[in-house]
Chains A and B, each alone.
Chain A
Amino acid sequence: MRKYWWKILSILLLAYAVIGGFLLPVPRLPIVHESIRNLYFHVPMWFTMVVLFVISVVYSVKYLRSNHLKDDLYALCFASVGVVFSIFGMITGMEWAYYTWPADTQEASFLWTGDPKQLCAALCMLIYLAYLVLRGSIADYDKRAKISAVYNIFACALMFPLIFIIPRMVPSLHPGSDGNNPADPNHLDATMRMVFWPAVLGWILLSVWISTLLIRINLIAKKEIIYADVS
Chain B
Amino acid sequence: MQMFPKSYAFLRNSLLAVIALLLPVWGFAQDSTAATAEGMRANGKIYVVVLVISTIFVGIILFLIYLERRIRKIEKNLH
Task: List residues of A whose CB falls within 8 A of some B CB.
Answer: 7, 11, 14-15, 18-19, 22-23, 206, 209-210, 213, 216-217, 220, 223
Report whether A19 and B71 are in contact in the complex, using a CB–CB cutoff of 8 Å.
Answer: no
A22 to B53, CA, bound (A): 10
Where chain A touches its partner, the secondary structure class is: helix
Taking the closest CB of chain A, its distance from the CB of B70, in whole angstroms, is 9
- Least CB distance from A208 to B in Å reads 12
- At the interface with chain A, which of B23-31, B32-40, B61-69? B61-69
Bound-state Cα–Cα, A220 to B71, Å: 9
Bound-complex Cα distance A18 to B50 (A): 7
Nearest opposing residue in chain B for A17, CB measure? B57
| Residue pair B71, A23 in contact (C-beta under 8 Å) | no
Q: Which chain B positions have C-beta within 8 A of A217?
A: 71
Q: Is the interface of B mostly helix, strand, loop or mixed?
A: helix
**Which residues of chain B come closer than 8 Å to A23, judged between CB atoms?**
46-47, 50
The tally of CB-CB contacts under 8 A between chains A and B is 35
Residues on A with C-beta less than 8 A from B7 are none
Assuming the contacts A11-B61, A23-B46, A220-B75, asked whether A213 and B54 have C-beta atoms less than 8 A apart, the reply is: no
Taking the closest CB of chain A, its distance from the CB of B49, in whole angstroms, is 6
Query: B74: CB under 8 A from chain A?
Result: yes
Complex Cα spacing A22 to B46, Å? 7
Chain B residues, Cβ within 8 Å of A14: 57, 61
C-alpha spacing A19/B58, complex, angstroms = 12
Known interface pairs A22-B49, A213-B71; A15-B78 also in contact (CB < 8 Å): no
Is there contact, CB below 8 Å, between B57 and A216? no
- A residues within 8 A CB of B50? 18-19, 22-23
B55 CB to closest chain A CB (Å) equals 10
Contact flag A220-B78 (CB < 8 Å), given A15-B54, A15-B57: yes
Q: Determine the chain B residues whose CB is within 8 A of the CB of A213 once the complex forms.
A: 64, 67-68, 71
